[in-house]
Amino acid sequence: MSARTPSKALVIARTDLRQLRQSRDFWLPLAIIAGLFFVVLPAILLVLITHVSDVRLVKQLSDLVGSLPKQLRTKVKGASGPAQASYALAVYLFAPLAIIVPLTVSSAVGANTVIGERERGSGEFLAHSPASERQIYLGKLIASLIPGYLAAAVGFGCYSLVVNLTVGPKVGGWFFPTRNWWILVVWVLPPFIALALAVILAISAKVSSAAAAQQASALVTLPLILIAYAVASGTLFRAEVVAFAIGGLAWLGAFAALWRGSMAVQRERLLGMGG
């Protein structure tokens, strides 16, 4: 790559992000989903659970914690059944579900940024431009990664606030993110987002619809959810070591996939041809 490479890629990324910011009909549904997963649902459910007074329900919640694996039960904080149940839900149920959100955001943006160029006909402008195919790919990648990482940072920040404010007082103070969650969010999630994007961008360059590209990204999303559950709950043997190893492998896979994916963006395909 030439010395000018980063600047043209950044120009493309900046313009894509500017367009995204202007496309309220595109990002608003994503923001609503993020709000539901990170704030609204956890807040409502956790507030309800922590304020349960019905004896029968309290027993059911205690049973819920009792049904967790022994290894997990010892980690659950809180004196009462509802407090323990809220802790378990906050750490082991809602947070792994919320991990889908940054992936969904990045996947949607990634699919839209390449296929959208073709669908709107603006890909022809890029095809005739002096930007190299590698620069175009890099620009699209940056424009897709930033919303995903931003969604992860802001989303988990809000989620932490919600669960610490609602459940924290019942379990002896602020408790989220746990050590395992820090590892997940900082080390495991980013390469999976990059991996998903590499798949999305490679597929987007070939298929004709954004929906087809997004469906393909589920291949990457599903294993991440399983890993998130396993690592967050500590059900994997020596969870931290496994998390670091999975993260490391994911980084390697992401770099390999991104390198390979960079060849998928070709001028002819920007014109809506080839494949």
Counting contacts by CB under 8 A, is residue 22 touching other proteins?
A: yes
Report if residue 40 touches other proteins, rule: CB under 8 A: no
Which of the residues 126 through 145 are near other proteins (CB under 8 A)?
A: 126-132
Is residue 53 a contact point for other proteins (CB under 8 A)? no
Tokens of residue 239, six digits:
């969870």
Whether 40 and 166 have beta carbons less than 8 Å apart is answered as: no
Element (H, E) at 152: helix 133-166
Stretch that binds other proteins, among 27-35, 84-92, 114-122, 161-169 (CB under 8 A): 114-122
Nearest residue to 201 via CA among 133, 122, 113, 267: 113
Tokens 């798949």, residue located: 199
Residue 208 interacting with other proteins (CB under 8 A): no
Q: Per CB under 8 A, does 102 bind other proteins?
A: no
- Which residue type sits at 246? I
Q: Per the structure block, which two tokens stand in for 181?
A: 């969650």
Question: 146, 194 in Cβ contact below 8 A?
Answer: no
* Nearest by Cα to 246 from 265, 254, 37, 74: 254
Least distance (Å) between residue 117 CB and other proteins: 9
H-only helix segments in 67-188 = 70-73, 81-88, 95-98, 100-120, 123-127, 133-166, 179-183
Cβ distance to other proteins smaller for residue 88 or 270: 270
Q: Residue 191 corresponds to which tokens in the numbers above?
A: 């390469």
Among 6, 11, 158, 221, binds other proteins (CB under 8 A): 11
Decide whether 253 or 272 has the Cβ nearer to other proteins.
272
Which of 81, 123, 190, 191 touches other proteins (CB under 8 A)? 123
Does residue number 271 form part of the binding site for other proteins (CB under 8 A)?
yes
Under the binding rule (CB under 8 A), the answer on residue 77 touching other proteins is no
CA distances from 226 to 192, 236, 252 (A): 12, 11, 19
One-letter amino acid at 191 equals P
Q: Using CB under 8 A as the criterion, what x/- string covers residues 231-270 for binding other proteins? A: ------------------------------------xx-x
Nearer to other proteins, 113 or 166 (CB): 113
Stretch of 80-88, 97-105, 119-127, 230-238 lying at the interface with other proteins (CB under 8 A): 119-127
Q: CB under 8 A: which stretch of 7-15, 180-188, 190-198, 209-217 binds other proteins?
A: 7-15
- The single residue among 66, 69, 121, 169 that binds other proteins, judged by CB under 8 A, is 121
- C-alpha 217/C-alpha 199 separation (Å) is 7
